[in-house]
């Protein structure tokens, strides 16, 4: 299968049998900084944007989960109300039996039950608000032939008839040798659209995120054997984001990073060291250059073994500093 565009060069994209398997995360990191891409490849760490469909995130993004949670909270509320009724009706009996100590106990119990009931009511109020947002959200459907980013809304897309599907296993492309797992797929008819969320709130997606989105589009087109006109990036904790067209202009960074990272991995393999490019201006906010104490966090590894820690004057070290034996110019 070609990469879906006439201008792309399938010959350079196609992997040989001994080429390394890359992850979408490492390719996106390479787009940010070659050193970050190599560290992501060598350490095979989970993508921090990857989020399993955990209990606390589901009610924010799925109508069924919101409704299931509402039913659960209603049951809890009825339990507390039932407990309140039992305490209230037993109090006159204790007076009749002259068991006045029970009234003190009942008073404390009533305060506790009231507090619990109010907490459940607050949760219910928030869940109903989310349900209303979910049902009332509107979004224009992205034009599959448009070659610019288009704003979208997650719930608006669901209301257009897209079904959300969790991806359990990474999607794999055995022609270009890379794999990755989008956060969700949106499916309607023949359309399969990859979606991922980035935790950083921002006005528009950055290059590494666009590269990641394009990589997911390619994986969907290979695995599901159909055209994938765009991918979606949801930004921050909001329900809104962007549809990124799977066109040459946006695919370029993904293609270049995949090929360059493949070559870099080969050039640095088998213990051979090589100069790896970086742009100092990017180090100031890079989490891989952030100094930390040697006792905290995971050590970076190379060839399966932790690399020696390279501490600075203050006894701190960083992942990039350890891997490339230097002190990145990090600043908060």
The residue ranges that bind ligand SF4 (CB under 6 A) are 33, 35-36, 278, 282-283, 286, 288-289, 320, 328
**Closest separation in Å from C-beta 204 to ligand SF4:** 21
Nearest to ligand SF4 of 17, 331 (CB atom): 331
Give the list of residues 6+ apart from residue 114 with CB closer than 8 angstroms, or none. Answer: 84
Q: Which of 187, 195, 127 is nearest to 163 (CA)?
A: 187
**Closest separation in Å from C-beta 283 to ligand SF4:** 3
Nearest to ligand SF4 of 143, 325 (CB atom): 325
Residue pointed to by tokens 């490849």: 41
Q: Which of 241, 239, 196, 226 is nearest to 214 (CA)?
A: 196
Nearest to ligand SF4 of 114, 284 (CB atom): 284
Nearest to ligand SF4 of 228, 283 (CB atom): 283
**Closest separation in Å from C-beta 332 to ligand SF4:** 14
**Closest separation in Å from C-beta 170 to ligand SF4:** 24
How many CA atoms, within 13 angstroms, populate the side-chain half-sphere of residue 173? 27
**Closest separation in Å from C-beta 316 to ligand SF4:** 14
Q: Give the E-state strand segments of the chain in sequence order.
A: 22-23, 150-153, 163-166, 171-173, 178-180, 184-188, 191-198, 230-235, 240-245, 301-302, 305-306
Nearest to ligand SF4 of 35, 218 (CB atom): 35
**Closest separation in Å from C-beta 183 to ligand SF4:** 24
Nearest to ligand SF4 of 215, 283 (CB atom): 283
Cα–Cα distance measured from residue 206 to residue 88, given in angstroms and rounded to the nearest whole number: 60
**Closest separation in Å from C-beta 210 to ligand SF4:** 18
Nearest to ligand SF4 of 33, 217 (CB atom): 33
Cα–Cα distance measured from residue 229 to residue 146, given in angstroms and rounded to the nearest whole number: 9
* Helix, strand, coil content of the chain in percent (nearest 5): 45, 15, 40
Cα–Cα distance measured from residue 70 to residue 56, given in angstroms and rounded to the nearest whole number: 13
Give the list of residues 6+ apart from residue 160 with CB closer than 8 angstroms, or none. Answer: 139, 141, 188
């Amino acid at each position: 299968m070609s990469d879906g565009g006439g201008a792309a060069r399938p010959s350079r994209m196609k992997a040989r049998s001994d080429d390394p398997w890359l992850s979408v995360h490492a390719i996106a990191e390479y787009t940010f900084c070659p050193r970050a891409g190599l560290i992501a490849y060598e350490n095979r760490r989970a993508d921090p944007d990857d989020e399993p469909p955990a209990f606390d995130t589901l009610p924010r993004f799925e109508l069924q989960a919101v409704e299931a949670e509402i039913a659960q909270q209603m049951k809890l509320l009825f339990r507390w109300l039932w407990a309140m009724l039992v305490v209230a009706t037993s109090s006159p009996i204790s007076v009749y039996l002259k068991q006045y100590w029970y009234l003190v106990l009942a008073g404390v119990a009533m305060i506790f039950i009231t507090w619990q009931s109010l907490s459940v009511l607050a949760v219910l109020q928030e869940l109903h608000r989310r349900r209303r947002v979910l049902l009332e959200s509107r979004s224009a459907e992205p034009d599959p032939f448009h070659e610019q980013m288009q704003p979208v809304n997650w719930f608006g897309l669901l209301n257009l008839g897209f079904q959300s599907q969790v991806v359990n296993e990474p999607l794999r492309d055995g022609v270009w040798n890379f794999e990755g797992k989008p956060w969700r797929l949106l499916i309607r008819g023949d359309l399969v659209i990859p979606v991922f969320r980035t935790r950083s709130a921002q006005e528009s997606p950055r290059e590494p995120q666009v590269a990641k989105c394009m990589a997911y589009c390619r994986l969907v087109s290979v695995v599901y054997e159909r055209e994938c006109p765009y991918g979606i990036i949801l930004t921050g904790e909001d329900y809104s984001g962007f549809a990124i067209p799977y066109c040459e202009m946006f695919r370029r960074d993904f293609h270049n990073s995949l090929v360059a990272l493949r070559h870099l991995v080969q050039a640095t393999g088998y213990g051979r060291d090589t100069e790896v490019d970086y742009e100092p201006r990017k180090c100031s906010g890079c989490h891989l250059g952030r100094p930390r104490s040697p006792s905290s966090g995971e050590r970076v590894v190379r060839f399966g073994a932790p690399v020696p820690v390279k501490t600075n004057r203050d006894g701190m070290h960083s992942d990039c500093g350890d891997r490339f034996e230097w002190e990145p110019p990090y600043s908060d």
